[in-house]
Copies of this chain bind each other. A is one copy, B any other.
Amino acid sequence: MATLADIGVSAFINILSAFAFLLAFALLRIQPINDRVYFPKWYIDGGRNSPRRSGNFVTKFVNLNVKTYLTFLNWMPQAMRMSESEIINHAGLDSAVFLRIYTLGLKIFVPMTIVALLILIPVNVSSGTLFFLRKELVVSDIDKLSISNVQPKSIRFFVHIALEYLFTFWTCYLLFKEYNDVASMRLNFLASQRRRAEQFTVVVRNVPHVTGRSISDTVDQFFKTNHPDHYLFHQGVYNANKYAKLVTRRDRLQNWLDYNQLKFERQPDKRPTTKTGFLGLWGSKVDAIDYYKQQIEDLNKRLALEQQKIIKEPKSILPVAFVSFKSRWGAAVCAQTQQSKNPTLWLTNWAQEPRDVYWRNLAIPFVSLTVRKLIISLSVFALIFFYMIPIAFVQSLANLEGLEKVAPFLRPVIELKFIKSFLQGFLPGLALKIFLYILPTILMIMSKIEGHIALSILERRAAAKYYYFMLVNVFLGSIVTGTAFEQLYSFLHQSPTQFPRTIGVSIPMKATFFITYIMVDGWAGIAGEILRLKPLVIYHLKNMFLVKTERDREKAMDPGSVDFPETIPSLQLYFLLGIVYAVVTPILLPFILVFFALAYLVYRHQIINVYNQQYESAAAFWPHVHSRIIASLVISQLLLMGLLSTKEAANSTPLLVVLPVLTLSFHKYCKHRFEPAFRKYPLEEAMVKDIMDRTTEPEQDLKAYLADAYLHPIFQTFEVEEEEMAQVRAVRVDKNQSQANAPTSDTSSSSPPHQVDHPTSPPDHHTSHPTSPPQYQYPSGSPPQYTSGSTFPNY
C-alpha cells in the first residue's frame, strides 16, 4: 500500500504530465496552421476566416508573435468569459447542461470536502487504532486518516453516520435544485426556439400493410380520419441503406482519386499507379487515376440503378412516416396518444430533429425489436461479466512462445534481452488495452442493433452500458479482487447482507488506488483531451494528401463533439467515488475536486472553440445523470452499512437502514415531478406557441416550410455536390412525376420524394426551396456529413 509520499510522487508525475499537455496545447493552438484544429467551431459559425489568407508565408504557418507565448494559460479566463445563455446560443443546450454536471460536482463536493476534512480527519486520526495497536501490520498513511483507524464498537461511528445523512441530504437538495433548473431550462429552450420541423412532426412506426393500397395512402387515410382538424401531410421514408452504402464506397474512391490526382499534380513526371487487389496490396498494377475514375463511373451507374429501384419498388417504402400537423398542439396530441386498437400498430412518437434521426434503423421491422432488445441485454450482461474470458484466451496465444511459433523469423529479434522483457511486459496487456479502446464502439454497435431511431437515444443507451461496465469492472472490480465473473459467482453464493460487507470492508484499503486512478484518468486524461492529438494528426494528414480547395479543407476539419457515451459514464464514476469515499476516506475528495475544476475549464474551452454537436436533444440525458447520482448515494449507503457491520457497530448501523429508503423515495418523487418535462410536451406550451405564431405570422405556408425537412440526408447531400451527380438527383423527383426520371443537368429545381396529401397536383411550390431544409443553418450551406465521430457510419 502506498504511503503519503508515494501519493505525492504520483501526484507530481501526473501534475507534470498534465502540465506538459497543457503547455503543448498552449503552444500548438496559437500556430495559424492548427487554427482549424483548435477553433473549428468558429469556422462553422462563420465567425472566423482562415488566418492563412493574410500575412506573409511564414506567419501563415508559425506564430512569430512572442507576446502570445508569454500568456500561454490565457485560454482559461477566456473559457470562463462566456455566460451560460451565450453558451446555449453558441453551442446548444446539450453542451450547456453538460457543463452544469461539472459545476454540480463542484457544488456538491466543495462543501463536502471542507466538512469531511475538518470533522472526519480529527475523528479518525485521534482514535488511533492503527497508530498504536497494529504497528506490525503494513498500514498506509492514508489509512490512518480513514475510517479504518477508528476502533471497533467506537461511538465515533455516529459521527460518520451523521455525516452520511448530512451528505445525502445535501446532495439530494442540490440534485433537486439542479433538476428543477435543468427542466425549466429545457422548457425555456424549447419555448424560445424558432419554428422548427420537429415541433410539428411525429414519427409513426409500424404502419400496417393494407393490401391493394400504398403505405402513403394508408397513412393519409388514417390521419385524415383520426386527426381531421390537424393533419397536414406526411413524408414517407425510403429504405436507402443499400444506396447509402454505395455512396460511402464512392466517397472513399473519390478520396483515393483526389489523393492520386494531387500526387500527380505535384510530380507531373510520374503518373501514380495502384494495384487492383485488396487495399491495393496485390494484384496487377494499373494507372491509379484512370482506375479510380473508372471505378467511380461504375459505381455511379450502380447508384443510378439503385435509385431507380428505390423509386419503383413499393418495398423500398418503409412502414414508417413522418407525419406533420398544422399546429404544435396537433403534433403534441398525436405524439402522446395511442392511435390504434392494436397497440403495436401506428406507434407515434415525437420526431427527433432531422439531424438526430438515425435513418438506418428506421428499416428495422418493429416486430424484431423485442427480440433484439433481449439479445442485446443478454450480450451486455455477458460482456460485463465474461469479457475477461476471450481476452485471457487471446493473451494466452499472444505470448512470446506463440509469437515465435507463428513467426519463426522473428526469433533472433525476440531473443534479445531488452526486447524480450519489453514484449513480456507489453503483450499480455495489449489485448486488454485494445479491448478497452474499442469498447465504446462495441457498445454503440450493440445499441444500434437494439434498433433505436435517434442518435441521441443511441448515445444514451451506449452510455448506460458503459456505465454498468465501469461500475462492475472498474469500481467493484478494483475493490474486490478477482474477475467480474468471480464476483458474480460470489454474489450469487453469498447472502445479500454479506456482499456489502465483503466490499465495504475492502473500500478503505483501495483509496490509494482510486487516488492514483483519478490522477491518471482524470487529471492527465482531461489535459490530453484539450490537446486533441488525434484530430490534429488526421487534419494535417488530410491537409497534406487530399485537400485541393478551401472547401476540401473545410471537409478535412473535424470539430468532433462531446463524446457523451464515454464522458458521462466516467463522470458518473467520479461522482460515485466521491460519494462513497466522502465518509470513508475523505482525503480522496480534494483529488476529485481538482478533476471537476480542471475538466470544467477544459470542456468549457472545447465547447466554445471546438466541438460542433451533431444534434440537439435539449438535455434529454439529464434524467440519467440524476438517477445515477442517486444510485451512487444508495451504493455508498449500503457499503457504509456493510463496512460498519464489520466494525461491530451494531447499535449504530440500524440507523442507516432508513437512508436508502428515503433516498429512493426522493428519487421517485423527482422522477414524478420532473421527468415528464423530458419525455412529453405539455399542451399548454404548444398552444401558447401556436397562438403566438398565428398572431405574428398569420399567413405562413407551413406545408412549404416542412416539405423537405425529413428527407433522408443521402438525398440532401447531393444538392451541394458537383454537376456530375445530377443523375442521382432524379431520385428526389416526386414519385408521381417519375415518368420524367432523368433530369440530367438541371440543377436548380428538383423535388424530393416526399408524399404530399394532394398527389395529383404538381409540387410546384417546392421549387423555391429545393435544397436543404430551411430551418437548419448548415455551415457554409452544406449539411453535416456524418463523418466526424465514430458513432455514425459514413454513408
Residues of A within 8 A of B (CB): 187, 222, 225-227, 229, 329, 332-333, 336-341, 343-344, 346, 370, 374, 378, 491-498, 661, 665, 668-669, 672-677, 680-685, 687
Instruction: Report which residue of A346, A370, A668 has the largest number of chain B beta carbons within 10 angstroms of its beta carbon.
Output: A370
Residues from chain B with Cβ under 8 Å of A668 in the complex = 370
Residues from chain B with Cβ under 8 Å of A227 in the complex = 683
Do the beta carbons of A341 and B687 come within 8 Å of each other?
no
Residues from chain B with Cβ under 8 Å of A496 in the complex = 491-492, 495-496
Do the beta carbons of A338 and B665 come within 8 Å of each other?
no
Do the beta carbons of A672 and B338 come within 8 Å of each other?
no
Partner of A338, one of B222, B225, B492, B683: B683
Query: Please, how many angstroms separate the alpha-carbon atoms of A492 and B680 in the complex?
Result: 40
Residues from chain B with Cβ under 8 Å of A491 in the complex = 496
Do the beta carbons of A338 and B676 come within 8 Å of each other?
yes
Chain B residue, CB-CB nearest to A681: B338
Do the beta carbons of B343 and A674 come within 8 Å of each other?
yes
Given A341-B685, A684-B226: A665 and B370 within 8 A (CB)? yes
Query: Please, how many angstroms separate the alpha-carbon atoms of A695 and B567 in the complex?
Result: 60
Query: Please, how many angstroms separate the alpha-carbon atoms of A226 and B685 in the complex?
Result: 9
Do the beta carbons of B337 and A332 come within 8 Å of each other?
yes
Given A343-B673, A493-B498, 6 more A-B residue pairs with CB atoms under 8 Å apart are: A336-B336, A336-B337, A338-B680, A343-B675, A343-B682, A496-B496
27 pairs, A vs B, C-beta closer than 8 Å:
A187-B341, A225-B684, A226-B687, A227-B683, A229-B229, A333-B337, A336-B336, A336-B337, A337-B680, A338-B680, A338-B681, A339-B682, A340-B682, A343-B672, A343-B673, A343-B682, A344-B672, A370-B668, A370-B669, A374-B661, A374-B665, A378-B661, A493-B495, A493-B498, A494-B495, A495-B498, A496-B496
Q: Distance (Å) between the CB of A680 and the closest chain B CB?
A: 4
Residues from chain B with Cβ under 8 Å of A677 in the complex = 341, 343
Q: Distance (Å) between the CB of A222 and the closest chain B CB?
A: 8
Query: Please, how many angstroms separate the alpha-carbon atoms of A588 and B208 in the complex?
Result: 47
Do the beta carbons of A492 and B493 come within 8 Å of each other?
no
Residues from chain B with Cβ under 8 Å of A675 in the complex = 343
Residues from chain B with Cβ under 8 Å of A682 in the complex = 337-341, 343
Query: Please, how many angstroms separate the alpha-carbon atoms of A2 and B398 in the complex?
Result: 65
Do the beta carbons of B492 and A492 come within 8 Å of each other?
no
Residues from chain B with Cβ under 8 Å of A494 in the complex = 495
Residues from chain B with Cβ under 8 Å of A673 in the complex = 343-344
Chain B residue, CB-CB nearest to A687: B226
Chain B residue, CB-CB nearest to A489: B497
Chain B residue, CB-CB nearest to A348: B683
Chain B residue, CB-CB nearest to A658: B378
Residues from chain B with Cβ under 8 Å of A222 in the complex = 684
Query: Please, how many angstroms separate the alpha-carbon atoms of A683 and B344 in the complex?
Result: 14
Chain B residue, CB-CB nearest to A674: B343
Q: Distance (Å) between the CB of A396 and the closest chain B CB?
A: 25
Partner of A684, one of B340, B498, B674: B340
Residues from chain B with Cβ under 8 Å of A329 in the complex = 226
Chain B residue, CB-CB nearest to A344: B673
Q: Distance (Å) between the CB of A646 and the closest chain B CB?
A: 15
Q: Distance (Å) between the CB of A692 and the closest chain B CB?
A: 13
Do the beta carbons of B339 and A338 come within 8 Å of each other?
no
Partner of A683, one of B332, B337, B674, B684: B337
Q: Distance (Å) between the CB of A323 and the closest chain B CB?
A: 13
Q: Distance (Å) between the CB of A11 and the closest chain B CB?
A: 41
Q: Distance (Å) between the CB of A710 and the closest chain B CB?
A: 22
Given A229-B229, A370-B669: A684 and B495 within 8 A (CB)? no
Residues from chain B with Cβ under 8 Å of A370 in the complex = 665, 668-669, 672
Query: 6 closest A-B pairs (Cβ-Cβ)?
Result: A343-B676, A338-B680, A336-B337, A493-B495, A338-B682, A333-B333
Chain B residue, CB-CB nearest to A187: B341
Residues from chain B with Cβ under 8 Å of A661 in the complex = 374, 378
Q: Distance (Å) between the CB of A493 and the closest chain B CB?
A: 5
Query: Please, how many angstroms separate the alpha-carbon atoms of A676 and B684 in the complex?
Result: 25
Query: Please, how many angstroms separate the alpha-carbon atoms of A338 and B338 in the complex?
Result: 14
Residues from chain B with Cβ under 8 Å of A339 in the complex = 682-684
Q: Distance (Å) between the CB of A244 and the closest chain B CB?
A: 30
Chain B residue, CB-CB nearest to A680: B338
Residues from chain B with Cβ under 8 Å of A337 in the complex = 332-333, 336-337, 680, 682-683
Query: Please, how many angstroms separate the alpha-carbon atoms of A498 and B491 in the complex?
Result: 12
Chain B residue, CB-CB nearest to A686: B226
Instruction: Report which residue of A341, A346, A494 has the largest number of chain B beta carbons within 10 angstroms of its beta carbon.
Output: A341
Q: Distance (Å) between the CB of A725 and the closest chain B CB?
A: 43
Residues from chain B with Cβ under 8 Å of A684 in the complex = 222, 225-226, 339-341, 346
Chain B residue, CB-CB nearest to A336: B337
Query: Please, how many angstroms separate the alpha-carbon atoms of A675 and B675 in the complex?
Result: 22
Chain B residue, CB-CB nearest to A335: B337
Query: Please, how many angstroms separate the alpha-carbon atoms of A66 and B536 in the complex?
Result: 105
Query: Please, how many angstroms separate the alpha-carbon atoms of A339 and B370 in the complex?
Result: 31
Residues from chain B with Cβ under 8 Å of A683 in the complex = 226-227, 337-339
Q: Distance (Å) between the CB of A262 and the closest chain B CB?
A: 55
Query: Please, how many angstroms separate the alpha-carbon atoms of A378 and B676 in the complex?
Result: 26
Query: Please, how many angstroms separate the alpha-carbon atoms of A229 and B337 in the complex?
Result: 18
Query: Please, how many angstroms separate the alpha-carbon atoms of A682 and B498 in the complex?
Result: 49
Q: Distance (Å) between the CB of A551 and the closest chain B CB?
A: 44
Q: Distance (Å) between the CB of A567 and the closest chain B CB?
A: 29
Query: Please, how many angstroms separate the alpha-carbon atoms of A339 and B333 in the complex?
Result: 10
Query: Please, how many angstroms separate the alpha-carbon atoms of A329 and B231 in the complex?
Result: 15
